[in-house]
Structure 1
Amino acid sequence: MTSGTQWFGGEPGRNEAETAFLARLRQEAGGWTVDGLSPGDTWAADIGLPLYVDIDVPGLSELRRPLQVGFWTGGPWAGRSSGYVLQGVWGDDHPLDDHDGNDPECLTVIGVDASPEQHATWAAEWLLRQLRRPVVREEWLRDDRVVASTWRLSDTGTVLARQGNSPRRFLRRPPDQVTQVR
């Protein structure tokens, strides 16, 4: 992540639309109040076609389950929609790889005639909504040791990550411990 005090630092924007998007997103993020979140937990990058922004979610950084947003100003996505495209997802080490436009957990804006600033406002609203969602860690024990863990969005039950020895086998029974992560 970035080391400075600027939200979504690291990329100035490659064109006028990206620059406007980042300026508005940074402005919106400056008003956020989220426990444990600082500008250093965010960054922006040129990963190819979309402008990519990422938030290392407090309490989940060891899992590498960041919130990811892609803002497309060109390429196949934007070309087909005759405008800008916005994607958001609870991701992993592969930027935007988990995005599914049919998944209600994801952010998908395509084919809408709106400014880059409006797209940034939508992205900021989605990101803040995700950051405020409750997450729980469920643990299964054997001989007083954690052998499997699952992190879930507790409002929907969506699994963000699993770790451990055969976690699916343990999911057949209730967890031994449930801890509120955020």
Structure 2
Amino acid sequence: MPVQPWFASDDPETESELDGAERAFVAVLRERAGAWALAPAVSWVARPEDDSSLVVCAGVGDGPLGWPLRVGLHLSGATVRGDRFAHQNFYWLTQPPTGLALNATGSPEALAVASAAWFERVLRMPVVRHEWYHEGRLYAYRCLFAGDGDGDGWCDGYRDALAPPGQRERLVAAGALDAGYWVRSGALGRPDRVVVLRGTPG
């Protein structure tokens, strides 16, 4: 089976719509990524609907319980910003920034070099899963890069039926419940268990 190249365009039209600076950025980024000693990962180049920037994404993992994780960056003019993607959104960066955040300015080539180094560093990070239990049963979990410092991000999974009694009401009152099932991990307190999915956390 052929290996998908790093940072291929999500749509053939995206490639044809790149301007000169974006084309130079993507070419250097792909060249740098081709030298990584990393297992293939999900990655792509795309544009959000408002066409405000070039979005570049990479992710790791495809197993159960919260994988995969996605990080990405926005290239806009002479500036690039990178971080985890926002809650269940593969175009917008999380706010406030996490410990993974990248901010750089410069030429397209310099930004591509900085972005490639950032992607490689993040993709090599250990990955952990935070788990919350009630009466011995898992009711919430969240996967994250061990060094991202985001202690109050959205959980990847939450089962209200297995959660402690009255917790849903407390989450609603705290503004920590979104769309009825996405929960802020910070509102759950310290996880009951941390499972290392990849690597060795420092």
TM-score interval (norm. to shorter): 0.7 to 0.9
Residue 112 (structure 2) pairs with residue 108 (structure 1): no
- Does residue 95 of the first structure (1) align with residue 83 of the second (2)? no
2:24 to 20, 25, 29: 20
Structure 2 partner of 1:171 = 189
Per the TM alignment, residue 51 of structure 1 is displaced from its structure 2 partner at its CA by 1.1
Query: Percent of aligned positions with the same letter in both sequences?
Result: 25
In the TM superposition, 1:33-72 aligns within 5 A as 33-35=37-39, 37-38=40-41, 41-47=42-48, 48-58=51-61, 62=66, 65-72=69-76
Tell me which residue corresponds to 1:85.
Answer: 79
Go from structure 1 to structure 2 and tell me whether the alpha carbon gap of 1:127 and 1:72 turns closer, same or farther (over 3 Å shift). Answer: same
Aligned pair in 2 of structure 1 residues 46, 153: CA closer, same or farther (>3 Å)? closer
Kindly tell me: are residues 181 and 31 of structure 1, through their superposed partners in 2, closer, same or farther at Cα, counting changes over 3 Å?
same
Q: TM-score, normalised by structure 1?
A: 0.73
TM-score (norm 2): 0.67
Contact kept? 1:86, 1:109, Cα under 8 Å: yes
Provide closer, same or farther for how the CA distance between residues 50 and 169 of structure 1 changes in structure 2, counting only shifts above 3 A.
closer
SS at match of 2:119: helix
Amino acid at match of 1:6: P
1:157 to partner: Cα distance: 4.3
1:147 paired with 2:139, answer yes
Q: Does 1:8 align with 2:7?
A: yes
Ranges in structure 1 where 5+ consecutive residues have no aligned partner: 74-83
Contact 1:88 1:99 in 2 (8 A): no
Q: Supply the distance in 2 between the matched residues of 1:4 and 1:156 (Cα, whole angstroms).
A: 28
Say which of 30, 34, 37 aligns to 2:34: 30
User: What residue number does 1:78 align with?
Assistant: none
How many pairs are equivalent?
Answer: 161
Rounded Cα–Cα distance in structure 1 between residues aligned with 2:123 and 2:27: 20
